[in-house]
């Protein structure tokens, strides 16, 4: 009796929702599960759990539940949406595992509301798409150089260099610079990364595969890139 009371106390005060599903119905739900689903205990116990899910997620949840009960190997952790009575859509992270319940197969699901994280991810994705649109359509060439290699090249940079972007990313950055300018560029790159004061703007030449030359004016600044120092360079064709 004492052990049962302790177990019930633990289940009722866990931060995660816990529900036991059997024959497609809710056989048990702890207090947090009731709060997360925004229903009463009377509405929850014996109800078909699919009714609370977003229509687009019901098929997946029902299929996985059936396969899990049949002993098949299906993902035990995934995310799905619930649909509140007022039409609000919320995301839940669910971890499900088969358990015996009163002598018969059932599924115990632990779940938590991850809607805030989902909104943040969506906002970051929108922001990333906006930044990418700006970077790809800016009039200047833009490259990031790290460890003497290109780690980022925008479309305009590849156009000015007259090389495919993929080829630039696979080669050292000095390969596109005129041989007579390479020593100067490497020296300034080294000193800049060492924290020394060097000119941020100057002109140099690119030499193309056909031997022709393009003069560019560059502006260079230090930036972090994937947690390590790098240089961001903007440049424009000033040959004319």
pLDDT tens string 99-139: 999 999 999 999 999 998 888 888 877 887 887 887 887 88
Tell me, what's the pLDDT at 128? 79
Tell me, what's the pLDDT at 103? 92
Tell me which residues of the chain have a pLDDT lower than 50: 1
Cα 29 versus chain centre, distance = 32
- In DSSP notation, 71-106 reads T----SEEEEEEE-TTS-EEEEEEEEEEEEETTEEE
Tell me, what's the pLDDT at 137? 78
Tell me, what's the pLDDT at 11? 65
The string over 119-152, giving b where at least 16 C-beta atoms fall within 10 Å of a residue's C-beta and e elsewhere, is eeeeeeeeeeeeeeeeeeeeebbbbbbbeebbeb
Tell me, what's the pLDDT at 20? 93
């Amino acid at each position: 009796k004492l052990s049962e009371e302790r177990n019930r106390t633990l289940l009722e005060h866990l931060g995660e929702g816990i529900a036991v599903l059997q024959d497609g119905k809710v056989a048990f739900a702890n207090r947090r599960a009731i709060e997360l689903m925004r229903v009463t205990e009377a509405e929850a116990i014996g109800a078909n759990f699919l009714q609370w899910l977003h229509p687009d997620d019901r098929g997946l949840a029902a299929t996985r539940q059936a396969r899990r009960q049949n002993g098949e190997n299906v993902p035990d952790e995934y995310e799905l949406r619930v649909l509140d009575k007022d039409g609000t859509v919320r995301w839940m992270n669910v971890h499900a595992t088969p358990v015996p319940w009163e002598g018969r197969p059932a599924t115990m699901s632990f779940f938590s509301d991850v809607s805030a994280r989902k909104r943040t991810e969506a906002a970051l994705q929108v922001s990333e798409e906006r930044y990418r649109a700006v970077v790809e359509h800016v009039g200047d060439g833009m490259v990031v150089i790290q460890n003497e290699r290109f780690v980022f090249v925008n479309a305009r940079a590849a156009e000015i260099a007259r090389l495919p972007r993929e080829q630039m990313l696979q080669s050292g950055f000095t390969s596109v610079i005129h041989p007579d300018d390479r020593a100067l560029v490497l020296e300034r790159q080294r000193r800049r990364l060492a924290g020394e004061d060097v000119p941020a703007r100057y002109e140099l030449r690119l030499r193309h595969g056909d031997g022709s030359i393009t003069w560019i004016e560059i502006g260079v600044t230090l930036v972090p890139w994937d947690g390590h120092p790098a240089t961001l360079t903007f440049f424009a064709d000033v040959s004319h």
